[in-house]
Amino acid sequence: MRLSYYFTITLLLFIVSCNQQKTPTDPIEQRVEALLSKMTLEEKIGQTALRGTSSRVKGALPEEMKEAVRKGHVGAFLNIMNTDYVDELQQIAVTESPNKIPLIFGRDVIHGFKTIFPIPLATAATWDPKQAENTGRISAIEGTSSGINWTFAPMLDIARDSRWGRVAESPGEDPYLGSLMGEAYIKGFQGDNLTDKTSMVACAKHFIGYGAAVGGRDYNTAIISDPLLYNVYLPPFQAAIDANVQTFMSSFNELNGVPASGDKKIMTDLLRNKMGFDGFVVSDWNSITEMIPHGYAADEKHAAELASNAGVDMEMTSQSYEHHIKTLIKEGKLEEKQLDFLVKNILRVKIRMGLFENPHRDKKHDGHLYSEKHLSLAKDAAAKSMVLLKNENTVLPLKKSQKVALIGPLADAPLDQMGTWCFDGEKEHSQTPYMAMKEKVYGYEAGLKYSRDKSTSQFKKAIQLAKKSDVIVFVGGEEAILSGEAHSRAEINLPGAQEELIHELSKLGKPIVLVIMAGRPITIGNIKDEVEGILMAWHGGTMAGPALNDILYGNIAPEGRLPITWPKSSGQLPYYYNHKNTGRPAKAEKFVQMYDIPVGAWQSSLGNESHYLDVGYLPEYPFGYGLSYTQFAYSNIKISKKEIVENETIEVSALIKNTGKVEATETVQLYIQDVIGSLTRPVRELKDYEKVFLKAGEAKRVTFTIHTNQLKFYNRDLKQVLEKGDFNVWIAPSAAEGLKESFILK
Ligand code: BGC
């Protein structure tokens, strides 16, 4: 039960008072005010500046940088990866700058610093927030040893379109699961105490709507109705605030016509006044000056005016604030009070971080890089993230007696298995599937050098090996570079000649297990029937190899569940389980495949429903789906009563039995549908879930307690309402199945 989630959303979105009026007696606020009163205008502007270099630049600390710090013209740095420079810059800041205000050092430590954990989408597939917390904690322990005390994570953009490269970095498509994951990452990054030497301030990004890029093209326009924004896109960000996240990042995109970085309604009215955020907002990389090409700001000065008035406190990399704030104040286009507001938000976080007392990196803290504990947690996360999608004739787990031919471009790809956004991970530390299984497998031939390789020149060797084997394990997918920022794809199939190689291998008549390592779901229609087993292994990080070995050989039963709908074709995208019904919802009985339509048929819409003539209306695999090495039977659903009134709870339970031969964990999901609403409601929404471990033959009754707060939604007037009427409820192994009950809210 995670009822707190619903209570906090309810409370904060509508009862929260304007946090801008901080209590003056609060000791932190008093320090903030005292400090601010001593600062010159230049120094205030300096605090809003986040300077840095591209993550690839590791060297040279230019004299101008030191001078800027000395004068108090910089508030924070990003990507300073030389610890001596970190130490030197901080020393200058706290001894030579006018008010000795310490610097913050930021970097994208997204899913690991040195020890790389699975990409966030994979971590969401564990449906285990503890895995996200571990990722955050270990990243922070390792990263703080280099002086990084601020990470630009977690990304909490709900993603309904897998063409978008950044789905890899997202928690998937569901607001509830995304909220739990976000909360857990923040807990991990920030630790129990912000002042701890191993704590890294987290950043909830990107506010807001970035994941709704039209067509899945990165940076693209987002069009989201207000109720959709409130019901789907905001909850993970609200959960982040509740989890005490200290910073937010404004997004690159425009939302409904206004770029987020210049939108006061979003950055102040919504984020601060309604949602209750009181840390600081950093822009995304140049997102303030990019309002010029957006067609919203006329020039750099106008961009600075819009963003500062909107409430973006700190500017990442572009320098519009530095260049223009003084003039804007002089011209009356920005009140100094507003600049003070921005600066106070930044100072508040610096004080909370304990930087004034302990500004320096702890040189004794070595970060335990790649320690046994870190590697073992990374392996556990990678194994638990893997999703078994198909297992015909029980091809998995492999038997030790079988001759296994290991084939495929990602079986030994140390860089690619780390996935997107791992600037500091070193491929030399990656343990690949080949490395982990080399003693067991009969032989290994890549067949293709990398995922996009179109050359068939190595096919022969791979086929030769496969001929001598009992079973083929093909590890394919996408290189890391094919997902992530600015790496969207229109077709999300296996690139290069991978399908061709699988076709060739399938002619041998041997069972094939396809292991997909990728940053997104991959369309597999062309090869699905040629393989017996399909395992989604994502980009699993440093320990992807040993984790895969554990799963393939059955040391652990797979327990990952899809956090995102797996489409049949990218033409179905955006595609998500919690969609609305239409007036003509697609139905199996009505569906006519396009090749079954008689030639010359009379043109009529009658008889057709909301579906595609070619790929139909179902995804390849639904949200929440995932197989195990055992089977689970769901039976005997019970509901404690058939009627409920506001503020009551109701219990729904079902018997879950492990009917197979091995112990395993099942993720039992609770979905609810509000049948009739003043705004149409999704066909179902995930409201809770429980992971249950069951021995072979064991059965447990899993009970969910539903509170009426979980039935609320934001209506057209953006009021959170509870509407009387019928509700359906499912206890289910995925979003497309389940045992159904119903009740009435009176
Ligand atoms: C990304 C952010 C990232 C920032 C700093 C931007 O391009 O959108 O998510 O934190 O760069 O590297």
Residue 478 Cα, ligand 1 centroid: separation in angstroms?
A: 22
Backbone angles phi and psi of 192, in degrees to 5: -80, -20
Select from 725, 651, 730, 722 the least CA-distant residue to 684: 730
Q: Is 284 a catalytic residue?
A: yes
Strands of 685-694's sheet in order across: 643-644, 739-745, 725-732, 664-674, 685-694
- What letter represents residue 378's amino acid? A
Does 284 sit in the ligand 1 pocket, CB within 6 Å?
A: yes
Atom index in ligand 1 nearest the CA of residue 169 equals 9
Does 152 sit in the ligand 1 pocket, CB within 6 Å?
A: yes
Contact call for residues 131 and 103 (beta carbons, < 8 A): no
Q: Please spell the DSSP secondary structure of 149-185, one letter per residue.
A: -EE---B------TTSGGGGGS--S-HHHHHHHHHHH
Atom index in ligand 1 nearest the CA of residue 205 equals 9
Give the per-residue pLDDT at 56.
65
Does 169 sit in the ligand 1 pocket, CB within 6 Å?
A: no
Residue 285 Cα, ligand 1 centroid: separation in angstroms?
A: 6
Residue 284 Cα, ligand 1 centroid: separation in angstroms?
A: 6
Q: What is the DSSP letter of 265?
A: I
Does 157 sit in the ligand 1 pocket, CB within 6 Å?
A: no
Does 485 sit in the ligand 1 pocket, CB within 6 Å?
A: yes
Q: Which helix H or strand E contains 280, and what residues bound it?
A: strand 280-282
pTM of the entire structure? 0.97
Query: 534 burial class (0-12, 13-18, 19+ CB within 10 angstroms)?
Result: buried
b/e map of 616-638 (b: 16 or more CB within 10 Å)?
bbbbbbbbbbbbbbbebebeebe
Give the per-residue pLDDT at 58.
65
Does 218 sit in the ligand 1 pocket, CB within 6 Å?
A: no
Residue 317 Cα, ligand 1 centroid: separation in angstroms?
A: 11
Paired tokens of 743:
């009740």
Residue nearest to atom 7 of ligand 1 (CA): 285
b/e map of 566-588 (b: 16 or more CB within 10 Å)?
bbbbbebbbbbbbeeeeeeebee
Q: Which helix H or strand E contains 702, and what residues bound it?
A: strand 699-707
In 372-511, DSSP assigns E strands to 387-391, 404-407, 443-445, 471-477
Q: Which helix H or strand E contains 306, and what residues bound it?
A: helix 300-310
To test the ligand 1 pocket, which listed residue (108, 111, 261) has its Cβ within 8 A of the most ligand atoms? 108
Does 300 sit in the ligand 1 pocket, CB within 6 Å?
A: no
Give the per-residue pLDDT at 12.
43
b/e map of 235-254 (b: 16 or more CB within 10 Å)?
bbbbbbbbbebbbbbbbbbb
Q: Does the N-terminal peptide bond of residue 208 adopt cis geometry, omega within 30 degrees of 0?
A: yes
Q: What is the DSSP letter of 220?
A: -
Paired tokens of 199:
């704590």
Does 197 sit in the ligand 1 pocket, CB within 6 Å?
A: no
Does 285 sit in the ligand 1 pocket, CB within 6 Å?
A: yes
In sequence order, the 6+-apart residues with CB closer than 8 A to the CB of 75 are 46, 47, 48, 49, 50, 101, 103, 104, 314, 346
Residue nearest to atom 12 of ligand 1 (CA): 108
Q: Does the N-terminal peptide bond of residue 120 adopt cis geometry, omega within 30 degrees of 0?
A: no
* HSE-CB of 365 using CA atoms within 13 angstroms: 18
CA distance 590 to 344: 61
Give the per-residue pLDDT at 7.
44
CA distance 33 to 269: 23
Contact call for residues 410 and 538 (beta carbons, < 8 A): no
Residue nearest to atom 4 of ligand 1 (CA): 285
Catalytic residue among 174, 218, 242, 284: 284
Residue nearest to atom 6 of ligand 1 (CA): 285
Q: Please spell the DSSP secondary structure of 411-423, one letter per residue.
A: TT-TTGGG-SS-S
- What letter represents residue 353's amino acid? M
Atom index in ligand 1 nearest the CA of residue 79 equals 12
Does 205 sit in the ligand 1 pocket, CB within 6 Å?
A: yes
In sequence order, the 6+-apart residues with CB closer than 8 A to the CB of 580 are 680, 681, 682, 683
Does 421 sit in the ligand 1 pocket, CB within 6 Å?
A: no
Residue nearest to atom 11 of ligand 1 (CA): 285
Select from 423, 370, 367 the least CA-distant residue to 145: 367
pLDDT in tens, 117-160: 999 999 999 999 999 999 999 999 999 999 999 999 999 999 99
3-state SS of the chain: helix, strand, coil percent to 5? 35, 20, 50
Does 107 sit in the ligand 1 pocket, CB within 6 Å?
A: no
CA distance 689 to 224: 28
Atom index in ligand 1 nearest the CA of residue 106 equals 5
Select from 316, 348, 317, 342 the least CA-distant residue to 329: 342
Give the per-residue pLDDT at 232.
98
Contact call for residues 735 and 127 (beta carbons, < 8 A): no
Residue 683 Cα, ligand 1 centroid: separation in angstroms?
A: 35
- Listed as ranges, residues in the chain with pLDDT below 50 are 1, 3-4, 7-20
Residue 385 Cα, ligand 1 centroid: separation in angstroms?
A: 25
Residue 474 Cα, ligand 1 centroid: separation in angstroms?
A: 34
pLDDT in tens, 666-722: 999 999 999 999 999 999 999 999 999 999 999 999 999 999 999 999 999 999 999
What Rg, from alpha-carbon coordinates, does the chain have?
27
Paired tokens of 730:
């499912």
Residue nearest to atom 8 of ligand 1 (CA): 284
Paired tokens of 220:
């693209």
CA distance 448 to 458: 6
